[in-house]
Chains A and B, each alone.
Chain A
Amino acid sequence: MTTASLAPISALKNVYRFRELVGMLVARDLKVRYKRSVLGMLWSLLNPLLQMAVYSFVFSTIMRVGVAAYPVFLLAGLLPWTLFSASVSMAAGCLIANASLIRKVAVPQAVYPLALVGSKLVDLLLSLIPLTLIAIWFGRPPSASWLFLPIAILAVVCFSAGVSFAISSLTVFFRDIKHLVDILLQVWFYLTPVIYTYEQIDHIGNRFISFALRVNPAAPIVRCFQLCLYEGRFPDAATAAQAMLWGVGTLLAGLAVFLRAEPRHILYL
């Protein structure tokens, strides 16, 4: 616990030892977030619904994207994207917000970004309730392919945690990242097939867009959700493998960046 013996394995063990703390930090976030709000946790259900209602109106009534059961398609992609973008956007301020704890309590700092992703995961799980209702309403009730959901969720959680680790650590040293992240997330959102389908964008035939689609780690992950929830079929092996590899690879890379810089965070907070 003292001198710098930061072998990754022992660092991971240390994080695992504090898993219950991560749970409590998630609970803290939810409690504080919904305190004194009349609807409380219902907001976690309402938020994606309202977002979906707005996008549906704009893109199926005004712009006419021409996708059947568009609200179901939209929600299937919006849930993982929201988990990712909300985690990463908040990760930028995550260590800074917990600076008083970091300066006074010696626990592995990885618990803070993990708790952040954890609380967004709770939001996603709650959002599955309205998603199910809407899917039934539009005639696409849950089928066997929904069994793939845990794997898809694992992929998006790993990916979001990896990026959040890196961003939360880097922001401590370069505060500008906070501002940059939100803009990049917006660009990234429009480059990822969430409001339009994968096929629609691939058929445009623009070389740059097609290239961006193939190297975009968020694309296969979001597509896994759309395939199993909206199209009602299991993702093909290639898509599933890409999603999982991006998820695990990003997690390991992000964690490595984080653990390397961890002892120096306190000097810049």
Chain B
Amino acid sequence: MSGRVQLRGVGVRFRMYREKVITLKEAVLQRFQHLKTADDFWALKAVDLDIASGESVALIGHNGSGKSTLLKLAAGVLQPTLGTVQVQGRISPMIELAAGFDPDLTGRDNVFLNGALMGYSRKQMKEKFDRIVEFSELAEFIDMPVKNYSSGMYARLGFAIAADVEPEILIIDEILAVGDEKFQAKCMERIKSIRSTGCTIIYVSHAMDSVRLLCDRVAVLHHGELVFDGAPEPAIAKYRELQNFHPAR
């Protein structure tokens, strides 16, 4: 097991194009007059983060704070504009549990498609198939197109696949939040048991209770900057302070 992620001085810049309708004439004029049509937006700024083998780290932060961008870097979907990203070990290449689902295909087809997107052969997925269906408790719906699934069923199947493919670094996003209580508890158990095998876990959530439960380290992102990295309680306090939000106990 060697699931390490190392970010060094990472910055990610997006160009934000203004979504206003321009005529062809204006477009041509802009070309020649070098008018700026895009604003730079730094989704991540100078982030240094080391996630060591076997750690479970939660990423928290407001909407748009850069959590997904960070996951995209780790998964290899996105290259940093500045700095370096190094990943050792097999990482699930998906930043969302059900990212590879095609709504028109059946649950069964989607299990194999998702497996292939993660680099597993049909044969390997066949071995896992029964376990995945059993865990998701979707046996009677497995030959139905997933567009007819409820969002909870979607999440079940997505998690069941991700939990069975044995990555060395597991990315778990907040899709779990839509599962029912019983299934959520089942997922928590599963994540804990995966964790106990030495798998590195990166967990993204807005549910602070699950963050406390699963992670021994929490990184707080705020407008693209890593503002805190440490134990869960002070991290959650920092996050709420930055948001100026104090939930009633």
Contact = CB atoms under 8 A, between A and B. Distances in A.
Nearest to A107: B117
B117 A101 contact: yes
Given A2-B76, A35-B104, A105-B94, A18 B99 contact: no
Contacts of A24: 112-113, 116, 122
Given A2-B85, A104-B95, A106-B76, 15 more contacts: A1-B76, A2-B73, A4-B79, A21-B116, A24-B122, A25-B113, A28-B102, A28-B105, A28-B109, A35-B104, A100-B99, A101-B100, A103-B77, A104-B72, A106-B93
Decide if the interface of chain B is mainly helix, strand, loop or mixed. Answer: mixed
Interface in A1-44: 1-4, 17-18, 20-21, 24-25, 27-28, 31-32, 35
A20 B77 CA distance: 20
Interface string B83-109: 011110001011110011010110001
B116 A105 contact: no
The 6 tightest CB contacts between A and B, nearest first, are: A104-B99, A106-B76, A106-B93, A21-B116, A1-B76, A106-B77
Interface string B42-58: 00000000000000000
B121 interface: yes
Nearest to B87: A2
Q: Determine the interface band of chain A, counting residues with CB < 8 A from chain B.
A: 20 to 34
B93 A107 contact: yes
Interface string A66-102: 0000000000000000000000000000000000111
B104 A3 contact: no
Interface string A242-269: 0000000000000000000001001100
Per DSSP, are chain A's interface residues mostly helix, strand or loop, or mixed? Answer: helix
19 contacts: A1-B76, A1-B93, A2-B73, A2-B84, A3-B79, A3-B85, A24-B113, A24-B116, A24-B122, A25-B113, A31-B109, A104-B94, A104-B95, A104-B96, A104-B99, A104-B100, A105-B93, A107-B117, A266-B78
A4 B80 CA distance: 9
B75 interface: yes
A50 to B, nearest CB: 26
Nearest to B12: A267
A20 B122 contact: yes
A175 to B, nearest CB: 12
A100 B121 CA distance: 22
A155 to B, nearest CB: 28
Most buried by A among B75, B77, B94: B77
Contacts of B94: 104-106
B105 A267 contact: no
Contacts of B113: 24-25, 28
Contact of A101 (B99, B104, B112, B119): B99
Q: Which of B14, B79, B84, B94 has the most CB of A within 10 A?
A: B79
Interface string A178-210: 000000000000000000000000000000000
Contact of A105 (B84, B100, B105): B100
Contacts of A266: 77-78
A105 B119 contact: no
